[in-house]
Structures are given as C-alpha cells and as structure tokens.
Amino acid sequence: MIITDILVENSKKFPEDVALVEISPEIKEQLEKEWKEFELVEPGKVLNHRREITWREFNEKSNKFANMLIDKGIKKGDKVAILLMNCLEWLPVYFGILKTGALVVPMNFRYTSEEIKYCLNLSEADALVFGEEFIQRVEKIQGCLPKVKSLIFVGESSPTFSCSYDKLIDKYPNQEPVVEINENDDGAIYFSSGTTGFPKGILHSHSSLLSSCYTENMHHGQTKDDIFLCIPPLYHTGAKMHWFGSFLVGGKGVLLKGVKPEWIIKTAAEEKASIVWLLVPWAQDILDEIDRGSIDINEYDLSAWRLMHIGAQPVPPSLIHRWKKVFPSHQYDTNYGLSESIGPGCVHLGVENIHKVGAIGKAGHNWEILIADDQGNPLPQGEVGELWVKGPGLMKCYYNDPKSTDEVLKNGWLLTGDMARMDEDGFVHLVDRKKDVVISGGENIYPVQIEDFLRKNDIIKDAAVIGLFDSRLGEIAAAVIEIKPEMECSEEQIFAFCEDLPRYKRPRKIFFDKIPRNPTGKIEKVKIREKYCAAGVVDIQNKI
C-alpha cells in the first residue's frame, strides 16, 4: 500500500463528502469593505473567500494533473517541485505528482530566486509548479535551470514562459494513471530549514510517507468526524503530516490562509474544527488578544474543538498552563519531529500526560529513542546527551550528499543534533540544539532553559539566547528580548528578574528586539548572531 491508495479509497467511500476547504479571510475582509464603501456586493454574497472540494473531486483533480504531467514527459523517478502558497490546488497537485511515480519536491515559499534555483538544481527537478506570488522570482532564474522541462503556473494570467494549470487541467482524463509504484520507491524530497546555510535535500520513500499517517492517527485518534484546521505551510512536513492522521480516515482538512488570532478563532468556530495545530507564536498571539479584550471567546462556538497541539520548536510550559486556563476542556499534545523523520511524532508527549508539560515525551508509535554521548553510548537517566531516533519514517539520505548523510545516519539511527535528557519517568526533555550550547567558563549553558525562564515574565512576548565572545570566560549568554505590545521594560528589570536563575546561567547582556522566526516557528539564531555578534568578536562559523 502507498499513500495515494488512501485518496482512492476515500473517493470511493465518501465521494460527495467535503475533503478540503480553503478559507481566505483577507479576500472576505476586502469584499466586505467594498460592499460598505461602494455597495458592490450584498453582505450575504461574500462567498468567494471560501472554496471546497469533495473527496471525488480531490482524487479526480489529482488524476487529471498526473495525466497532464505524463503527457509532458514526466515519468517514474523524475522530480516535480511545488512552489505554492497554501491553497486548494496544493494537495491535489502533491498527490497527482505521486501518482505518476515521480518524486514530489515541496519548496519553501520564502525562498529567494537564488535559493529556488539552488533547490531545483540540487533535487534535479524536471518540472516546477508555481503560483502568482513567485512569477518574478521564477522569471529571474528560468534560463538557469538546465534540467527543468516544464514550468506550470497555477492561477490566472499565466506568464509567457510557463503553461497554465487552470487552462489545461480539464483537458485531461480523470482516470487513474497506470504506473507501478511500491512502498520502497522514492516518494519525496523535502528540504531542511536552511538555518545554517543553503538547505539539504531530504529523500523519503513512499513507505515513509505512509508511516506518518498511522503514527499521527495512533497519537491523536482521528475519526471521520474530526475536522483539522491547517494553518502552517503545506511545504513543511509538520502541517501536512498532522492532517494525514485525519486523511487516513476521511477526515476533512481546512486550509486557513492567514495567522491573525481573530481569523484562527473565527475559522475554528465557523468550520467546527476539532483539531488545531499551532506554532508557539500563534498560540501566544491568541492568548494576548484574549487578554487585551480584542477577542471575546464567549462570542464564538468552539465546542467542537477538542485538541490543540504544538510542534516544530521548544514549547514553554508557561504557555500551555496559560492556554489551559483559557481553554480548560482542550486536550494538549507536544509533538517532536524533524523533516528527516517525516515530521510529526517520532517523540510526543501524549494527551494523557499533561502533567508532564515541558517534556517532549516518549518514543512515538513504532519509533525508538536513545540519549547518547559523542561515541553513541547510551547515557543514564538525568544526563544530557544527543537525542537519537529510529523508526519507519526515517529519511533514506540527504539527496546527493553522502558526507552529510554519514554524519547523521548511524546504523539505522538518526542523530538529531538536539541535546536532551531523560527524567526518572522516561520522558525526554529537550535541552538545546547541540550547536547552540553556550560554553561559559567551562560550564555548558543551554539557551532553551533560559528562554523558557524569560517567557514566564508577563511583560516578555518572546526571547532568544545566544553566546557572545568573552576574553575571560570564552562566551557569555546574551538575551534578545521581545516585549509585548504597549508594554515597557528596562535592562535592570530583566537582570532583576533573572536573579532567580543560577548565577552562571544569567544573561550578561540584554538586547531589546523582535525575535526572527522561520515559517515553522523556529528561532533563526543565525540572523540574531549576524546582527549582534560583530565579525572578529565571536567566531560565528563555529556556532552555525
């Protein structure tokens, strides 16, 4: 069985049930504004901010796109890249590529032209599917892509250098393409976050993709009736693979195009979402808006919402305690995963373990974990070492990069690069990224611990800790603090607050600034170091 078989089965079992919904709040707000100012539409007819397709339509669109690709010369083993914002076409395109036997290559929508070119050439992509937001970026590099045979544009007014998905898709049959694919065949190339330079290509098999469906469903018990609100970018393993637990049983997915707190709450209420996956900043923003009175949750029917879970970054325990005060009936889960481990769930807390918030949990369904020293020897409980994981969603390799592959794959284990410890109950606690550890006067300082402490301060919205060069201690901890809107704070207040920390862990330098995060919510420490570590004062290369 491969993952596309699930789509075929859903189209047979639930042909007229809604599979996917796209919500575009900005379009709705603009239309409502035009109605009020120019009386262009009636209030009850502001409808095109919402689109949907059934399971039958989902499968047929995937088949049509697969047949289009095959007509353009795409064959098993080729690679087809996706460069689209979240939209209703994204997943039918994704599954259509898989049905051809080609590898799907999702790409970060924040990539510059140079990064797009780099990733297309690294993955040896034969075709690129892109949207209107990327016309200029693709046009700039289209003559520098020797292997790309087809550029396919999704949207209105296709540029002259590409063909139109919209105009061509209905010319192709909706029958299943006849391609023999097995679970061991290559299925996808995802890209690492690129926080340490240009991204690496992460090669996954069809078996790996399928495993994410079962892992996620085992963890969160999705049924046909569950409705999954998907907000993070679909190019990332986290968002899609969490919905895959619902996909496995024919559960609806709602794609929300926007992250404003009011949009999230309103969409959850109107669409009767039962599962919402958030990033730390979005959860913080929702709570802040509720605290300020900008959102009155009593005005919304959120009774269907049963599970809020977070992944992709360390989760401050204070945030979850705060969330549970506002939403006491919600189940909560922390999910830990990497693109190299097909995203969610190689480690997870479990909804039954809310008392262990702060830990990332135990080994996920069908996964094994190990806390190891630099030689790969298991460490006893309580000692800090590198987290290793092994399981069915492990990548095959870094594509065309045997050196990097050998550095992280050891006898079937993936070396995550995350430092962690296991407590007396067998729960794993992240300590920090291995390369982010600050060594001050011979003591290891783990920035995540300080960041979690700082976020307990009601004035602080976000925090990031880096190491700065010090001629005496080697490094000192420096904290970049983002203050909540309409609040004020001084260095002296932060230093006073940090007196509850052990002396060696206290930040020696404070900067007030916005914390940069990538689309999956991870703090971009490289950007922070580039800004605050003057060249020649700290060895940036050793930290990235």
Strands 275-278 and 307-311: parallel
Contact status, residue 463 vs residue 451, Cβ threshold 8 Å? yes
The pLDDT score that the predictor gives to residue 64 is 98
Write out the two tokens for 282. 């979005």
SS (H, E, C) 134-177: HHHHHHHHHHHCCCCCEEEEECCCCCCCCEEHHHHHHHCCCCCC
Q: What is the 3-state secondary structure (H, E, C) of 460-526?
A: EEEEEEEEEEECCCEEEEEEEEEECCCCCCCHHHHHHHHHHCCHHHCCCEEEECCCCECCCCCECHH
Element containing residue 241 per DSSP (H, E): helix 237-247
C-alpha–C-alpha distance, residues 63 and 77, integer Å: 18
Q: Are 499 and 506 in contact (CB under 8 A)?
A: yes
**pLDDT recorded at residue 195:** 45
d(CA 95, CA 97): 5
Q: Which amino acid is at 155?
A: G
- pLDDT at position 534 is 54
pTM here? 0.82
Q: Alpha-carbon distance 153 to 167, whole Å? A: 10
Biggest CA-to-CA distance, the chain: 71
- Nearest CA among 196, 200, 252 for reference residue 228: 252
Whether 422 contacts 382, CB under 8 Å: yes
> Angle formed by the axes of helices 90-99 and 3-13, to 10°?
120
* β-pair type (150-154, 127-131): parallel
Contact assessment for residue 120 and residue 96, using Cβ atoms and an 8 Å cutoff: no
Q: What is the pLDDT of residue 382?
A: 92
CA distance 202 to 233: 17
Output the DSSP codes for 41-102.
S-GGG--TTEEEEEHHHHHHHHHHHHHHHHHTT--TT-EEEEE--S-TTHHHHHHHHHHTTP
- pLDDT, one tens digit per residue, over 518-527 is 766 778 887 8
State which H helix or E strand residue 398 sits in: strand 397-398
List of the chain residues with pLDDT < 50: 34-38, 44-47, 195-196, 535-544
Shortest CA distance to 284 belongs to which of 264, 301, 258, 266?
264
> What is the phi/psi pair of residue 187, to 5°?
-120, -35
Angle in degrees, 0-180, between the axes of helices 25-38 and 261-270, rounded to the nearest 10 = 100
Domains annotated for the chain, with CATH where assigned, are 3-258 (3.40.50.12780), 307-433 (2.30.38.10), 437-543 (3.30.300.30)
Q: What is the residue whose two structure tokens read 């109950």?
A: 425
Whole-Å CA distances, 428 to 371, 382, 445: 9, 10, 18
Q: Tokens standing for 439?
A: 């060594």
CB-side neighbour CA atoms (13 Å) of 254: 25
| Count of Cβ atoms closer than 10 Å to residue 320 Cβ | 21
Report the distance separating Cα 97 and Cα 105, nearest Å: 9
For 140, counting Cβ atoms within 10 Å of its Cβ (0-12 exposed, 13-18 middle, 19+ buried), the class is middle
